[in-house]
Amino acid sequence: MFKKEMNNVELIELTEYLHLTKRIISATAAASIIIKNDKVVYEWYSGFHNKLMSSRKVDEESQFNVGSIRKTYLGLVVSKAIYEGKITSLDARVSDYFYELDKDLLGNTTIRNLLTHTHGLSDKGRLFLPGTNWNYNNIGVNILISIVKDLYGKSFPTLIDELVFSPYGFNESGWRMQEEDKLIWLNDSYHNGNGSDSNLFVSTRDLAQWGYLHLNKGCIKGQQIIPQEVFEQATSIISPSIHENLPRNGYYWFVQDMARQKSEIGDLLPKDTFQSLGITGCVCLIIPTINTVAVRMYNQTGPNPVGYNYLKDIKYFGDLVYTNLKKLEI
């Protein structure tokens, strides 16, 4: 994948923090990779696939359930659909493409609203008018999964396999239905393979490759398989103007314009940094200004422990990566 250029001892503060968080959230498995200037400058694996010490040790082939990070894969498919004109624009009305919800309920909800969690829809109806607030849930995700299937005549996982996994050699990524040796399984049951279940499993290196692909706007080893514009769209802020404390999003990526109270991106991280977080504790962080991708993986399954603030933790992780790399001038 990449040439490794440094020993983990040079980022001992990061290693200690990763170990500490692993204990706090009762994860049995953990891993991290940092790529900077096209080289792996940090790579670390810890623990076992489950609570049994006799289970498989975590290594570079171990595949974690990445939770909501899967939404950024959907974001790329939607960006491609807009680039190709299959969806006319970000401000196209959802009701023109999706017919399973009442048109009155959808109202003026747009594709932009679905991608940025500003649609206001919930299982119980409408929480707020589209574009007026921010609420994180899977309603918009599942609507977009249905839309792209209708547009392309293929499921979302099939599309991402054809678009990314196969051409770019992502051999350790996929939607898994059954437990296998290399999967860090969460004892969940998955009922379909259309992408609406949270069953995307990815190795640490493949998730780093996913970030690296976005960092380089799709150009890997001189090859531009997907148009650069598709990546530029996906990682640019497209959120409507909402309260200053609320996050700003691209196509499901959190994108930094300035430090915001409810954003998952660390306050010290520079403008245009973008990131995605999964409920299991996994993170994919891209910092273009220092040509860096940072990934961390956990297999958290239980609720957050008392006193643990996941938002504070994830912000600290990003700030720690950034300040350490700057300090060491890596």
pLDDT digits (tens, 9 = 90+) for 116-131: 999 999 988 899 999 9
Structure tokens at 208: 């780093």
Strand partners, 125: 122
pLDDT score of 310 more than 90: yes
Domains and CATH numbers, the chain: 8-328 (3.40.710.10)
Beta bridge partners of 249: 254
Q: Check whether 1 has a pLDDT greater than 60.
A: no
253 φ, ψ to 5°? -75, 145
* pTM: predicted TM-score of the whole model, two decimal places: 0.95
pLDDT in tens, 25-62: 999 999 999 999 999 999 999 999 998 878 899 999 99
- Longest C-alpha distance within the chain, in Å? 58
Count of H helices and E strands in the chain? Answer: 10, 13
Quick one: CA dihedral 187, 191, 197, 202, positive or negative? Answer: positive
Summarised one tens digit per residue, pLDDT across range 52-69 is 878 899 999 999 999 999
Q: Sign of torsion, CA 91 82 99 131?
A: negative
